[in-house]
Chains A and B, each alone.
Chain A
Amino acid sequence: MTTTVYVPRDAAALSVGAESVARAIAAEAARRNVSIRLVRNGSRGLQWLEPLVEVTTPQGRVAYGPVGVGDVPSLFESGFLQGAPHALHLGLTEEIPYLKSQQRLTFARVGVIDPVDLDDYLAYDGYAGLRKALEMSPADIVQAVTDSGLRGRGGAAFPTGIKWKTVLDQPAKQKYIACNADEGDSGTFADRMLMEGDPFMLIEGMTIAGIAVGATRGFIYLRVEYPHAHRTLEEAIARAYERGYLGRDILGTGKSFDLEVRLGAGAYICGEETSMLESLEGRRGEVRVRPPLPAIKGLFGQPTVVNNVISLATVPIILHKGAEFYRDFGVGKSRGTIPLQVAGNIKRGGLYERAFGLTLRELLYDFGGGSASGRPIRAVQVGGPLGAYIPASQFDTPIDYEALASIGAMLGHGGVVAFDDTTDMARMARYAMEFCAIESCGKCTPCRIGSTRGVELLDRIMANVEREKNLQLLQELCDTMLHGSLCGLGGMTPYPVQSAIKHFPEDFMRTVQ
């Protein structure tokens, strides 16, 4: 009997040796004359256990991890192909508490299927959403997305259905779907995992978006730092074309949708939607003044849906299972599930998808296991480099858009980065300004000049040069950036700076050695 063995091809798994492990397993099987089927799946998102190897057994998939090349002979010796005990044996994958306690809707297939095998995708309800959409009117598709309560998962949390409605209502001949895959926030990797682990779901979501608003062409704007996702997407897109799921006359319905990947070039600002559109048009990624909104005048001047990877990839399940099914998850105005990404100084980092409403403490301690260093977690930064630093005293805040906003924080793209008590928060505040200076597009003055002045002020504060006066000046500068910047980069860089000063004032008052 041939046993199926899964070794992830996800970049995070590869980064800790999954490729060598896959080769070693194939070689050892050949040496022992055992027949195996090796599948390169996406990652389950339990990153501390990567490389996580799974085998199929009559009871279900059994996991082993983290597997090193040196463990492979002993795995065979102890009978891992039958799911036998071993020092790295983790039991049934689905029963691992970290995974079992999740509610995976968007990530249901990630880590489960072969990401570039279209038949595997179809076997797991793939394209069920598109089939439903093809029987609906465009207005009904948009209504379903609106009713689901889905809000933009890129960070702005704008209702997706309303954005689509605006584009649908434009009379233009050519409209576009632009997928923002410029996932630049530190602490986030959900887009990458989705594109590497279930690319057809994104392709399906974009196709549905195209049919819904009358757009026949889509672009995925992918950051150049993601070469693995690039290869996986290109492979999946080619297969979707071959099988009639992309291109002219999709599944014989007369509808058309063309899709291509375009690479960014290492500019954080291109994650801002208007800057991304400029970049897609081949220009410097300088932000545009709004209005007009991209939904009215977007890519190449045409009405454009700009959505994040996770927003678009969630559309198929909404269409397949219905708006109510999705809306029934979550709390208040935060409906559905959110794939949280737990990173930084954390024992069990990874992807954790669940309905809104979990508290930070549950995420960090119950599932994350506390810090990797074993020291107390002093602060977390939620929502990327423009997100506020949250102190331990606020870890009981539920993770939803409104609750975080009420403490001056934001969920953003769902990244949670943990820092232990050795962290100097004044240095982190300085870094926020420095990052803004490096990545500013230069179009508006508060961001372009303010960020550099901010670094200088923080240097003086840390060196105890006219500290009180400079702290006052820094607050005024933050105010100017907050209110005077054209986009979120300059406009939100004050969040990490001011939250660090507010919650950790002692770090700005240190005696200079």
Chain B
Amino acid sequence: MNTTPARPETLDAYTREQIDLALAQYQSQPGPLLQVLHAVQQRLRYIPDAAVPIIASALNLSRAEVHGVITFYHYFRRQPPGTHIVRICQAESCQAMRTDALTEHAKKRLGIGFHETTADGRFTLEPVYCLGNCACSPAIMIDDELHGRVTPEKFDALIEEKTRA
């Protein structure tokens, strides 16, 4: 955990601009913090710690409030992810269809555990609790793409396809 506060001056011009654009887009909305954070993450793929004081000051919140919201929600990330984010459902319906075996296979195939990124920076592996595809369990999501009835073979084919792309 980072103990020294990250300073906005450490951000490069592009990153700073993206944060400002996200703020400009949503600042005037009621209760805009989540929307701003979504917009920052959509633009940068993560929310840099140095963005916290900028967002806090723009929305008239304390840094603790902004930090508290970022860390409350599983979806927000403070480090850049790999090129592709692979989410494997761990919830009951997928468990009933052996997501445990699929998860083990995925960890072995990618050589990483949950919340980790492959050494080549290509894949980040995350658990997820329900993708709403429960009649086609087990389900995974790669970036915004949903896949159902996923077998280890299908998983490998999907990873292969993303690696080639």
Contacts and interface: CB of A to CB of B under 8 A. Distances in A.
A381 B74 CA distance: 25
CB-CB nearest 4 A-B residue pairs: A349-B135, A186-B91, A343-B134, A282-B33
B72 A267 contact: yes
B45 to A, nearest CB: 14
Given A266-B73, A282-B31, A439 B129 contact: yes
A346 B136 CA distance: 10
Interface in B29-83: 30-35, 37-38, 65, 68-69, 72-76
Contact of A263 (B30, B38, B128): B38
Given A283-B33, A283-B69, A284-B72, A227 B144 contact: yes
Contact of B135 (A191, A284, A342, A431): A342
Interface stretch (A32-40, A88-96, A411-419): A411-419
Given A14-B146, A225-B130, A266-B74, A50 B96 contact: no
Nearest to B126: A266
B91 A385 contact: yes
Interface string A181-204: 001111111011000000000000
Contacts, number: 153
B122 interface: no
A265 B135 contact: no
Interface size class of A (residues with CB under 8 A): 35 or more
B159 to A, nearest CB: 16
Contacts of B34: 262-265, 279-280, 282
B144 A189 contact: no
A48 B92 contact: no
Given A15-B136, A186-B94, A264-B75, 5 more contacts: A224-B75, A225-B128, A225-B141, A267-B74, A350-B135
Interface in A343-372: 343-346, 349-351, 372
Interface in B1-47: 30-35, 37-38
Contact of B134 (A263, A265, A349): A349
A160 interface: no
A431 B33 CA distance: 32
B147 interface: yes
Given A15-B146, A15-B148, A282-B32, A341 B68 contact: no
Contacts of B96: 343-345, 417-420, 423
Specify which of A185, A186, A228, A264 lies most central, judged by the most chain B CB atoms within 10 Å of its CB.
A186
Interface string A263-289: 111111000000000011111110000
B163 interface: no
Contacts of A150: none
A124 interface: no
Contacts of B130: 183-186, 188, 225
Interface string A466-507: 000000000000000000000000000000000000000000
Contacts of A344: 92-93, 96-97, 134, 137
Contact of B31 (A281, A417, A418, A439): A281
B135 A12 contact: yes
Contacts of A237: none
Contact of A186 (B65, B73, B76, B92): B92
B152 to A, nearest CB: 16
Contact of B132 (A11, A16, A266, A385): A11
A431 B92 contact: yes
A48 B136 CA distance: 7
B139 interface: yes
A265 B92 contact: no
Interface in A10-68: 11-12, 14-16, 47-48, 50
